[in-house]
Amino acid sequence: MNEIIRLEHVSMAFRMDLNRTTSLKEWMVTLLKGQHRHKDFFALNDVSFSVQRGDVVGLIGHNGSGKSTVLKIISGIYKPTQGKVTVDGHIAPMLELGSGFDYELSGDKNIFLNGAILGFNEKFLQEKHDEIVAFSELDDFINMPLKTYSSGMLMRLAFSIATIIEPEILIVDEILSVGDAHFQKKSRERMRQLMEGGTTVLFVSHDITEIRKMCSSVLWLDHGKIQMYGDAVAVCDAYQAAMI
Amino acid sequence: MATHTTHLTRKTKWLIYAGIGYLLVILLFRFLVADGWGKKKVHTVPVNFQSTVGEVTDGVPLCQEFIATMDKVDAVAIGAVLIEDERAGTLNVAFQKQEETLWSTDIEISSLTDWAMNTISVTPSIQLERGELYTLRLTVTGGRVTFTYGTTMSAGKYDVPVPLDGKLTLGDTEIPGVLITQLDGACVYQALKWYWPVTIGLGLIAAAIACYAVKRRNSGRLCRLNVLVDLVLRYRYMLKQLVIRDFVVKYKASFLGVLWSFLNPLFTMLVYLFVFSTLFQSSIAHFPVYLICGIVMFSHFSEATALGLNSIIANSTLITKIYIPKYIFPISKVLSATINLLISLIPLIGVSLINGVVLSKALLLFPYVLVCQIMLCTGVALMLATSMVFFRDTQFLWSVVITMLNFLTPVFYPADIIPTQFQTLYQLNPMYQLITFLRTIVLDGVAPEPRAFLFCLLGGLIPLILGFVLFRKYQDKFVLYL
């Protein structure tokens, strides 16, 4: 088996400034008064685990347990305060769909803009362009500026761009409910295809039945610490038992 | 294996292209700078008339000490005043270094023109050493003549005092002023002598580094340069998309669209022209061209830095959601401002042609000043963007600084109205160097002196390095403060 993601003793501290200063004046004043105090809040505390290639890992835990922080650390958005992260493969971040959109431009131009931001190259996007448009079912709307789109249309376009490739690692933060019932079904199908295609998936959900259905293993986080990590069924059983 | 081989030949092909490109660039550059870096004709500016030195008695020498600003003197002009139309006698003009006479000649006083600058050609021309003290000695034998001196110099509409670098003495009496003279000569630069060794040396070093990088790539153990190249290749499409996006969106809702990119500098020029024409026009040739050169460069600087300042904050939604090298945001803003700069070259050239400025091949040196300008703007944008994340006051502070810089840079006034004692400090402003460089290639149509190239390069490189170091140090913390 080969490891694709490895976290070793990772801690992530957020500084909670007791007097949060964003202006130079305030900063100088607090510095001079010697009140430059802050408290560290550990969103993750000494977390170590590894993911094998092809695993579908579900992340569970109550709000604020550090699930999103783990995903952001793996994506490289956060640099951990302590510890080491090793990722060996191309990551498709799906933390928030469509964050790179420009609402003045047409859907068509946004395919290239958003695609570029997600790290795809020009040739690839030109090849996949028709496929993206077809999957999003936007038809003629693709040439309209994004500001005229409904939120459902936006999400459909964003989902179509983000899932067009088969990335080595796919990171999903509760995005499965996209668009209407028809498109939701389609997007679920697409996700299942990706997972079966050998992509490593990290995936956050509060829906335990979905986790049981889709994941091979589950990571249960509690207050920034690993409560349990292992076989999906076992962890889900323990989690549900603890919840009652 | 087949794909591997084609990949390798493609890389080699690119290296060969880069090598040929470099050779062409250094050849063209050598051709363009030939006039500016070889020998350059220069002359000193005479001071304004204040008074005469009084009658110069027979045999009493009038000596003016001066610090040489040129390497070679070809002619000297002296303001002479004859007394009571007496035209007898001779005037001896001599250049001395300490007690040693370098050159001297006798001229008939009758050949002098009263109340005018009398040019005396110095043949063979004399060699001076820049920065050294020399003496111009005038001695009258058997005649009556006097000379003029002054203490001020015209700069714009005003007269400014001239520094008294050397003493003016008549016999033993010291006269508080500077003799009205003008030296014509040339500066000779040594830079061309080193041109080929330096450029070829740099080329060889670059080639060696490239070969090393290719070798490391093929062996699979990547070095820093490989990683950098990968990063650039991987994100260049994103950069391109961001730049295009900025440019398209900027004018999308406007009626005239891209036309604004060249109407803007034109309108600004007209306003300045209207306001300042009476004040400075007399002293500046082709004032509209002088103005538009300054305006185009300064507005680019101010636009690029203002956009760069906000670039990290404005993209906070992206930065907190997706991993992207954060450098890309300030850089893309500077580049999209640069597209504007390139478009505004059209009105610049138009105004020059209308004003009768003869455009020469020196204009091809524009890419040099453009690269320096981009480096400067990127460096400043990186620093400002970093500062902005932690202190939102930066934006307000910067708008004050930009206004200040607009006055501290010779955009709409001649640089020489700044008093001499502040000139060194004044010229530390990189925008001064860049704008002066552009004006030299547009207005004078010659390559600037070697020093100007160096100062422009440093003016871009130093801020760029500082900007990168600062940005790199703090970029991991950005996401926590957005």
B396 interfacial to chain A (CB closer than 8 Å): no
Segment B313-348, tens digit of pLDDT? 998 888 888 888 899 999 999 999 999 999 999 999
**Residue boundaries of the structural domains of chain B:** 1-38+201-221, 42-188, 226-481
Determine, for residues B322 and A77 on separate chains, whether the beta-carbon distance falls below 8 Å.
yes
Interface of B with A in 67-126 (CB under 8 A): none
Residue A106 inside a domain? The answer is no
Q: What is the pLDDT of residue B3?
A: 44
Determine, for residues A117 and B324 on separate chains, whether the beta-carbon distance falls below 8 Å.
yes
Domains of chain A: total: 1
3-class secondary structure, A10: strand
Topology at the third CATH level for domain B42-188: Jelly Rolls (2.60.120)
Spell out which residues of chain A touch residue B394, defining contact as CB-CB under 8 Å: 24
Q: What is the pLDDT of residue B193?
A: 84
Of B234, B245, B319, the CB nearest to A102: B245
Q: What is the pLDDT of residue A29?
A: 74
Q: What is the pLDDT of residue A21?
A: 59
Nearest CA among A4, A32, A6, A31 for reference residue A17? A31
Structural domain boundaries, residue A31: 3-90+203-243
Kindly give the pairing relationship between strand B178-179 and strand B145-150.
antiparallel
Of A24, A93, A104, the CB nearest to B322: A93
Of B235, B252, B391, the CB nearest to A23: B391
Point out the residues of chain A with pLDDT beneath 70.
Answer: 1, 17-23, 34-38, 93-96, 174-179
Segment B186-217, tens digit of pLDDT? 888 888 888 899 999 999 999 999 888 888 88
Q: What is the pLDDT of residue B2?
A: 42
Residue A68 inside a domain? The answer is yes
The nearest alpha carbon in chain A to B329 belongs to A117
The nearest alpha carbon in chain B to A22 belongs to B391
Q: What is the pLDDT of residue B365?
A: 94
Interface of B with A in 308-367 (CB under 8 A): 317-324
Which CATH number goes with the domain that contains A37?
A: 3.40.50.300
Residue A46 inside a domain? The answer is yes
Residue A168 inside a domain? The answer is no
Segment B44-77, tens digit of pLDDT? 888 888 888 887 878 888 999 888 888 889 899 9
Point out the residues of chain B with pLDDT beneath 70.
Answer: 1-8, 85-86, 155-158, 280-282
Determine, for residues A95 and B322 on separate chains, whether the beta-carbon distance falls below 8 Å.
yes
The nearest alpha carbon in chain A to B242 belongs to A113
* ipTM metric: 0.84
CA distance B387 to chain A (A): 10
Q: What is the pLDDT of residue B1?
A: 38
